[in-house]
C-alpha cells in the first residue's frame, strides 16, 4: 500500500518561534510535512495543531495530521480526521486512498474497499489505489478481483514495483511460484534495492527446492547492502553457512517493523492458530477463567494473544523488539504494560515476577533454547506456568535437537524440548502436536508446550 507521507528522508528542520510567526499557512504546512517525513513527529504535530487552530477548515493540514496520528498508533482518531478532511474537500482522491490504508490496517476491509473504489472513481488512472485495492480484495479472498486490480495497477504504471511485488505474492499464494518469480524479478529491476522483492524472490526459489539459487539472491543483496540483517540471516538459513544460535535483534526488528501494518491480515490468510492454541492450553489448566495471573506475553507482536488470555489475567505485560508491532498491540487496550526489549534481557531482570508466561511463535527465532528457558524459569514464581509454541523438527533433520529452516525460522524436536524443560526443573511437561498455520499451501506442524515450575 502507499501512504506518501510515511517516507523518511534526510531533511533536518527545526523551526524556531520567530520563523513560524513569519510563515504563511501554505509555507507552514509545507514545513510540517517536511518535519513529518523526516520523522520529527513532535514538531510536526505541534505545527499541524497550530495550523488547524488558526484555520479549522484547512483540509490538507487535517488530512496529514490524521496520517501522523495513525503513525503514532492512534488510528481511530486518524480515521476521524481523514474523514473530516474528505468532507471539507471531497474531490481529492489521495484522501480516500490514505483512508483506505488506515482502514485496512484496522481490519475494516469492506470500508477500505469502498475508500479505494472512491479514489479510483475520482481518478481512474490512480495506480496506487488499484494496487491497494488488490491488497484489500486479496485479504477478503476475492482472488480473481485482486488479480484484476493488480493487473490494472501495472497497466497504468508498468514501473510500479509494489504492484509487481504484490502480483507475485498473489501468484505464489495460489501455488504459481514460477510465475511469481518473474514479477519479483521485475520488481527488483524496477527498484534494485527493494528488500521485500529480494526476500520474496529468495522465498520463491527455496519453495521450489532451489536453495543454492535462493542463497545467491541473498549474496547479491549483501553486495549492495553488506550489513542488511535480513539478507545475512536468510543467507545463513539457505546456505547452511555461519548459522547463528538465534536470529539477531536487528533481523527481528527489521522484519517485523516492515510488515507490522499488514501482519494481522496476513496471518488471517494463513489461518494462523498459535494464539488460540495458547489460550486453549491455558483453559485446560484453568477450567474457570479468573483474573488472577500476573502474565507476560513474550514476543507479543500486535497483541493477538492479549484479548484471548485477558479473562485469565489481572495484569498483562507484553514485550517485543518491534516498536511498530507494539504500537499495534497498544491499540487493543488489553496490555497493562508494553516494553520494547529483547526477551532474554527482560527475563533476567524480572526474577520471580510472573505466574504465567506465554509465547506464540516467538521461540521459532531461537535455535538452542536452554538459555531462554532458564531465564523464563527464573522469571516465574513457584507453581508458575509456561506455555509456548514452536515448529516441530523431523528427528532425522535436527541432530542437535533443532535446525534452522530456509525461511529463517528454527524448528525443534520433541525430545529436545522435553529434556531441556525437565533438566531445569519444570514439571507436568506436555507437548501437543498442532497445525500452527498454512504456508505455501502446506500445513506448518508445531508443538504446543505446557509446563509448570515446581
Write down the pLDDT at residue 287. 63
Note whether 227 and 298 are same-domain residues.
no
Are 288 and 408 found together in one domain?
Answer: yes
Q: What is the DSSP letter of 106?
A: T
CATH number at residue 342: 3.40.50.150
pLDDT value of position 340: 96
Residue that is last in its domain, among 197, 215, 243: 243
In 74-194, which residue ranges form alpha helices assigned H by DSSP? 75-88, 93-105, 109-122, 127-139, 143-156, 161-173, 177-190
CA distance 264 to 260: 8
Domain termination residue (choose one: 183, 209, 243): 243
The boundaries of the domain holding residue 184 are 159-243
Q: Is residue 198 part of a domain?
A: yes
Q: Does 273 lie in the same domain as 231?
A: no
pLDDT at 13: 40
What is the bridge-based pairing of β-strands 380-392 and 442-453?
Answer: antiparallel
Task: Report if residue 374 sits inside a domain.
Answer: yes
The conformation of residue 120, written as its DSSP 8-state character, comes to H
**105 lies in some domain:** no
CA angle 316-277-140, nearest 5°? 95
The pLDDT score that the predictor gives to residue 1 is 47
Confirm whether 129 is domain-assigned.
no
Residue 4's pLDDT is what? 43
Inter-CA distances, 92 with 96, 113, 122, 380, Å: 8, 17, 8, 55
pLDDT at 17: 45
Regarding whether 229 and 359 lie in a shared domain, the answer is: no
What was the pLDDT predicted at 16? 45
Task: Tell whether 165 is covered by a domain.
Answer: yes
What's residue 6's pLDDT? 34
Within a domain: 138: no
Domain boundary among 243, 274, 308: 243
Q: Cα separation of 333 and 381, whole Å?
A: 26
Task: Give residue 354's pLDDT.
Answer: 97
Domain identity same for 267 and 183: no
Q: What is the pLDDT of residue 396?
A: 74
The verdict on 325 and 362 lying in the same domain is yes
Report the pLDDT value the prediction gives residue 160, as an integer from 0 to 100: 95
Residue 249 forms part of a structural domain: no
Q: In CATH, what number is assigned to the domain containing residue 164?
A: 1.25.40.10
Same domain, yes or no: 267 and 231: no
Q: Rounded distance, CA 326 to CA 340, Å?
A: 7
Is 59 domain-assigned?
A: no
Residue 263: predicted pLDDT: 57
278 and 414 in a single domain? The answer is yes
Residues 234 and 330 in one domain: no
C-alpha cell at 22: 513569519
347 and 409 together in one domain: yes
Note down pLDDT in tens along the chain; length 454 residues.
Answer: 444 443 333 333 444 444 444 567 788 888 989 899 888 889 899 999 988 988 899 999 999 999 999 888 788 999 999 999 999 999 999 999 999 999 988 889 999 999 999 999 999 999 999 999 999 999 898 999 999 999 999 999 999 999 999 999 899 888 899 999 999 999 988 988 788 888 889 989 988 889 999 999 999 999 989 999 999 999 999 999 999 999 999 999 998 887 666 656 666 666 789 999 999 999 988 766 788 899 999 999 999 999 999 999 999 999 999 998 998 899 889 999 999 999 999 999 999 999 999 999 999 999 999 999 999 999 999 999 999 999 999 877 788 899 999 999 999 999 999 999 999 999 999 999 999 988 767 788 999 999 999 8
The confidence score (pLDDT) of residue 8 equals: 30
User: Are the C-beta atoms of 58 and 29 separated by less than 8 Å?
Assistant: yes
288 and 212 in one domain?
A: no
pTM beyond 0.85: the answer is no
Instruction: Give the chain's domain count.
Output: 2
- Say yes or no: 210 and 275 in one domain: no
Task: Please give the pLDDT value at position 339.
Answer: 96
Task: Give the C-alpha separation, 354 to 295, whole Å.
Answer: 6
Amino acid at each position: 500500500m502507499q501512504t506518501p507521507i510515511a517516507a523518511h528522508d534526510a531533511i533536518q528542520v527545526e523551526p524556531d518561534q520567530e520563523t513560524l510567526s513569519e510563515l504563511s499557512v501554505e509555507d507552514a504546512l509545507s514545513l510540517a510535512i517536511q518535519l513529518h517525513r523526516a520523522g520529527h513527529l513532535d514538531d510536526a504535530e505541534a505545527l499541524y495543531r497550530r495550523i488547524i487552530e488558526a484555520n479549522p477548515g484547512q483540509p490538507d493540514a487535517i488530512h496529514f495530521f490524521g496520517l501522523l496520528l495513525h503513525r503514532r498508533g492512534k488510528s481511530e482518531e486518524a480515521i476521524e480526521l481523514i474523514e473530516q478532511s474528505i468532507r471539507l474537500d471531497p474531490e481529492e482522491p489521495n484522501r480516500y486512498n490514505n483512508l483506505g490504508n488506515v482502514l485496512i490496517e484496522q481490519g475494516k476491509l469492506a470500508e477500505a474497499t469502498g475508500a479505494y473504489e472512491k479514489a479510483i472513481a475520482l481518478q481512474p488512472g490512480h495506480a496506487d489505489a488499484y494496487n491497494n485495492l488488490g491488497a484489500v480484495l486479496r485479504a477478503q479472498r476475492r482472488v480473481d478481483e485482486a488479480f484484476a486490480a493488480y493487473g490494472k495497477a501495472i497497466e497504468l504504471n508498468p514501473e510500479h514495483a509494489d504492484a509487481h511485488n504484490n502480483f507475485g505474492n498473489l501468484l505464489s499464494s495460489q501455488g504459481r511460484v514460477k510465475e511469481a518469480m518473474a514479477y519479483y524479478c521485475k520488481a527488483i529491476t524496477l527498484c534494485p534495492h527493494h528488500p521485500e522483492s529480494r526476500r520474496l524472490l529468495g522465498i520463491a526459489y527455496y519453495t521450489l527446492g532451489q536453495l543454492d539459487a535462493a542463497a545467491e539472491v541473498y549474496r547479491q543483496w549483501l553486495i549492495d547492502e553488506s550489513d542488511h540483517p535480513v539478507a545475512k540471516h536468510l543467507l545463513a538459513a539457505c546456505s547452511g553457512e555461519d548459522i547463528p544460535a538465534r536470529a539477531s535483534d536487528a533481523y527481528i526488528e527489521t522484519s517485523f517493523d516492515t510488515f507490522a501494518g499488514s501482519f494481522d491480515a496476513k496471518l488471517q490468510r494463513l489461518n494462523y492458530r498459535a494464539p488460540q492454541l495458547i489460550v486453549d492450553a491455558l483453559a485446560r489448566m484453568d477450567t474457570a477463567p479468573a483474573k488472577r495471573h500476573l502474565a507476560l506475553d513474550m514476543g507479543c507482536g500486535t497483541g493477538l494473544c492479549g484479548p484471548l488470555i485477558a479473562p485469565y489475567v489481572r495484569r498483562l505485560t507484553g514485550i517485543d523488539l518491534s516498536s511498530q508491532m507494539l504500537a499495534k498491540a497498544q491499540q487493543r487496550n488489553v496490555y497493562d504494560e508494553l516494553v520494547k526489549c529483547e526477551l532474554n534481557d527482560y527475563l533476567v531482570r524480572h526474577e520471580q515476577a510472573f505466574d504465567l508466561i506465554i509465547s506464540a511463535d516467538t521461540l521459532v527465532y531461537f535455535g538452542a533454547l536452554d538459555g531462554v528457558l532458564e531465564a523464563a524459569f527464573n522469571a516465574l514464581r513457584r507453581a508458575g506456568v509456561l506455555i509456548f509454541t514452536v515448529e516441530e523438527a523431523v528427528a532425522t533433520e535436527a541432530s542437535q535437537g533443532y535446525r534452522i529452516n530456509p525461511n529463517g525460522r528454527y524448528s525443534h524436536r520433541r525430545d529436545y524440548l522435553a529434556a531441556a524443560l525437565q533438566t531445569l526443573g519444570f514439571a507436568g511437561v506436555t507437548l501437543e502436536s498442532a497445525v500452527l498455520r498454512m504456508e505455501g499451501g502446506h500445513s506448518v506442524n508445531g508443538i504446543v508446550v505446557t509446563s509448570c515450575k515446581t
